[in-house]
Amino acid sequence: MTERAPAGIDVVIPYVGDPALLREAVESVLRQPGEDWRLVVVEDGPQGHDVAGWLDGLRDPRVTHVLHEQNRGLPATFQHCLELATAPWVVFPGCDDVLAPDYLGVVRAAIARHPSAVAVQPGVEVIDDDGEVVLPLGDRVKRRLAPADGLWAGEQLLRSLLLGNWTYFPSICWRREAAAAVGFRQDLPVTLDLALLAGLVLDGGSVATTSEVAFRYRRHPASVSSVAAEDAHRFAEEARLHRELAAASTARGWTRAARAARLRPTSRLHAALRLPDTLRSGRRTDTRRLVHHVAGR
């Protein structure tokens, strides 16, 4: 086989779930213009569908399938996805997300404008199970918190993220070497995206933002984030990470970022909104945890 030059951007999709949605995600990658990209689908444990056969049938040398013989879980799978990337830039779409037709073009343009960036956050629209554009409360909050187009770094960026994480992890394109130097935290299955971003910022990295919509993020009850949100362990993990980032910010003299980490307002608001459902469920332990989180303990 002829050796191909490393693609400019690797698209690495961790796959667990609905094969129909995966096909939609893959087809959105295949529609991207240009040849300087590569697609890797990482099947985290056999899913009972012939994903490998379908991908092989595409007969596209840019497309690769990797199978985990056993389910490794989110943190280990994302770390493996990062290790599989070889291009200068890499993105990790969810297997139920959709790239807009010019996602790679929008990202390349942002990189050209801000060549020092270690990550690019493009514009995102949220879709439901049926692919219809929606804007739930949480996403309305994200939209209000998101900064203007530009290049962001240092305490200003970290404080912004700690007041409320306005990013959409599956849509972010990462400078591979920078992301690999930090890596995905294996003890943070829900907040590993914020931990990676914060690690890059603390290391001096900058993030380019553009409001040009280039990605369709699917939010539905079966998504990883929605399921995890029903479990009070999520908020315990968020509180732990915020305490770590408060200490790291204080050590750098970033007092405003440290205060934002201690306050964690949107995380506490999210927990407060979950309280009525938790109370109705009769889950006393989860209720106590949520109350403590809302109180900032």
pTM: 0.91
Segment 215-219 mean pLDDT: 97
Q: What is residue 17's DSSP assignment?
A: S
Residues 270, 225 contacting (CB under 8 angstroms): no
Q: pLDDT at position 275, please?
A: 73
pLDDT above 90 as % of the chain: 77
Q: pLDDT at position 34, please?
A: 86
What Rg do the C-alpha atoms of the chain give, in angstroms? 19
Q: pLDDT at position 2, please?
A: 42
Segment 223-249 mean pLDDT: 77
Q: Going by C-beta distance under 8 Å and a sequence separation of 6 or more, which residues neighbour residue 277?
A: 230
Segment 115-124 mean pLDDT: 98
Mean pLDDT (the chain, rounded): 91
Residues 158, 258 contacting (CB under 8 angstroms): no
Is the pLDDT confidence value at 27 over 70?
A: yes
Is the pLDDT confidence value at 263 over 50?
A: yes
What is the chain's percent helix, strand, coil content, to nearest 5? 50, 20, 35
Residue 282 to residue 270: CA distance in whole angstroms: 19
Q: pLDDT at position 267, please?
A: 82
Residues 60-90: pLDDT tens digits? 999 999 999 999 999 999 999 999 999 999 9
Segment 128-151 mean pLDDT: 94
Segment 154-182 mean pLDDT: 98
More confident residue, 222 or 112: 112
Q: pLDDT at position 297, please?
A: 66
Is the pLDDT confidence value at 292 over 90?
A: no
Is the pLDDT confidence value at 12 over 60?
A: yes
Q: Is 277 left (phi over 0), alpha (psi -120 to 50) or beta?
A: alpha
Q: pLDDT at position 221, please?
A: 64
Among 196-200, 256-260, 270-274, 279-283, the least confident range: 279-283
Among 220-224, 235-239, 265-269, 284-288, the least confident range: 220-224
**Secondary structure, 3-state, 196-259:** HHHHHHHCCCEEEEEEEEEEEEECCCCCHHHHHHCCCHHHHHHHHHHHHHHHHHHHCCCHHHHH
Q: pLDDT at position 223, please?
A: 47
CA-nearest of 19, 58, 16, 17 to 39 is 58
Is the pLDDT confidence value at 5 over 70?
A: no
pLDDT above 70 as % of the chain: 91
Is the pLDDT confidence value at 224 over 60?
A: no
